[in-house]
């Protein structure tokens, strides 16, 4: 195992989103001496309410801004003496990428290049003794599996959606910055996450949200597509492990060995919510509606996570049974959060907290 890297000042991009906010909450709890600067432009998916637990911590700073703004990125790197970048900011929803791919290329490809370039210059200027750049990516860059096999770090990139193509573009730039400039990059590729603060356009929170509201539950195609689900807190812990112990230049797959057919997961969420909402057994399943399939819908994702386990000793801690029950309980207890993110009212929160830009 390489020497442990100790981050002192971290620039987290996209820290107001689902995984970024879970990561900041996790990381700040375990690394009290480390400064965290959260750069997020607050798209529809960014929500500062997710960060209430850290907003008054003097080690935390929020900056509303765009990762494509090179001057802003350079200024933050220099003034905060940043030695670590953890890059979450992205357009992240496959269905949106099908109807509007342009913003995905801007944010996920150009935004990554701006961060890489400004970080490289900052490091080469000798501002900090050691540096790490961690690119948070997805197993979707590998494309689709048939009914057998797993994605390893050696699986060729074969993205099928504009979202996954734009993430693969970012990953290739990360590779190039390591090969060309010797820039100390790390690249993680994780399977589907679930847990608190997940925007209710993605499968699991959308189903919970619609069941509570007794709305139809849209299942794409035959419902037999397979996804490999990992709790977002396990993903956060894996990123911290890779940041501190990972070999610069390396890629690590992250997954929980937890494959589910979409229809099975929807049935499970229906049944758990029958009990929790005291509805008759089977009542929620009647809301399931099979709808037209997503174009280019990847059939199956499944991660081989043996490299991160073997090299760095990371393993998931959540069983799916516990994780999904806790997630449903979180949504039931946080209906106000759901109402706000779905109404857009949360955008006012920034103005209330921080005033005009």
Q: Which of the residues 30 through 89 are near ligand NAD (CB under 6 A)?
A: 39-43, 45-46, 66-68, 88-89
State yes or no: residue 287 binds ligand NAD (CB under 6 A).
no
Q: Which of 139, 87, 75 is nearest to 112 (CA)?
A: 87
Per CB under 6 A, residues contacting ligand TYD are 94, 192, 202-203, 206, 218-220, 225, 227, 262, 294
Is 240 an active-site residue? no
Q: Report the residue number, 114 or 284, with the smaller CB distance to ligand NAD.
A: 114
Active-site residue (options: 40, 66, 83, 140):
140
Coil, strand or helix at 26 = helix
**Shortest spacing between CB 310 and ligand TYD, in angstroms:** 26
Is 139 an active-site residue? yes
**CA–CA distances in Å: residue 216 to residues 212, 248, 289, 316, 329:** 11, 47, 6, 33, 21
Active-site residue (options: 150, 163, 197, 350):
163
- In the list ligand TYD, ligand NAD, none, the entry touching 330 (Cβ below 5 to 8 angstroms by class) is none
In this structure, the dihedral spanned by the alpha carbons of residues 64, 66, 71 and 72, taken in order and rounded to 10 degrees, is 20
- In the list ligand TYD, ligand NAD, none, the entry touching 94 (Cβ below 5 to 8 angstroms by class) is ligand TYD
In this structure, the dihedral spanned by the alpha carbons of residues 170, 174, 194 and 233, taken in order and rounded to 10 degrees, is -160
Q: Report the residue number, 184 or 205, with the smaller CB distance to ligand TYD.
A: 205
For 336, other C-beta atoms within 10 Å of its C-beta total 10
The token duo for 216 is 């139809």
Q: Which residues of 242-264 are buried (b: 16+ CB within 10 A; e: fewer)?
A: bbbbbebbbbbbbbbbbbbebbe
| DSSP assignment letter at 106 | I
Binding residues (CB under 6 A) for ligand NAD: these are 13-14, 16-20, 39-43, 45-46, 66-68, 88-90, 92, 107, 111, 136, 138, 167, 190, 192-193, 199
Catalytic residue positions, numbered: 139-140, 163
């Amino acid at each position: 195992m390489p020497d442990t890297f100790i981050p002192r000042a971290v620039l987290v991009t996209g820290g107001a989103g689902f995984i970024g906010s879970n990561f900041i909450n996790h990381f700040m709890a375990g690394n009290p001496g480390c400064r965290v600067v959260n750069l997020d432009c607050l798209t529809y998916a960014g929500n500062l309410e997710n960060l209430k637990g850290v907003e008054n911590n003097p080690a935390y700073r929020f900056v509303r801004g765009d990762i494509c703004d090179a001057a802003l990125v350079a200024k933050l790197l220099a003034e905060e003496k940043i030695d670590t970048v953890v890059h979450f900011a992205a357009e992240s929803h496959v269905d949106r990428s099908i109807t509007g791919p342009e913003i995905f290329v801007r944010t996920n490809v150009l935004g990554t290049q701006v961060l890489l370039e400004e970080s490289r210059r900052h490091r080469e200027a000798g501002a900090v003794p050691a540096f790490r750049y961690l690119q948070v990516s997805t197993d979707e860059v590998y494309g689709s599996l048939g009914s057998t096999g797993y994605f390893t770090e050696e699986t060729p990139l074969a993205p099928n959606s504009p979202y996954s193509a734009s993430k693969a573009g970012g990953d290739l730039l990360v590779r190039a910055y390591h090969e060309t400039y010797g820039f100390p990059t790390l690249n993680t590729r994780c399977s589907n996450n679930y847990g608190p603060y997940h925007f209710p356009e993605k499968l699991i929170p959308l189903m919970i949200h619609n069941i509570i509201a007794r709305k139809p539950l849209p299942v794409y195609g035959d419902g037999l597509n397979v996804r490999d689900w990992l709790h977002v807190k396990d993903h956060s812990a894996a990123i911290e492990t890779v940041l501190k112990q990972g070999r610069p230049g390396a890629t690590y797959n992250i997954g929980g060995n937890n494959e589910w057919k979409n229809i099975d997961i929807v049935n499970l969420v229906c049944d758990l919510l029958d009990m929790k909402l005291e509805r008759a057994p089977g009542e929620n399943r009647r809301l399931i509606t099979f709808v037209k399939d997503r174009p280019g819908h990847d059939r199956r994702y499944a991660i081989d996570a043996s490299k991160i386990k073997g090299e760095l000793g990371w393993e998931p801690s959540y069983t799916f049974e516990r994780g999904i029950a806790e997630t449903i309980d979180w949504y039931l207890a946080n209906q106000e959060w759901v109402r706000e993110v779905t109404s857009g009212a949360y955008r006012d929160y920034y103005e209330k907290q921080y005033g005009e830009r």
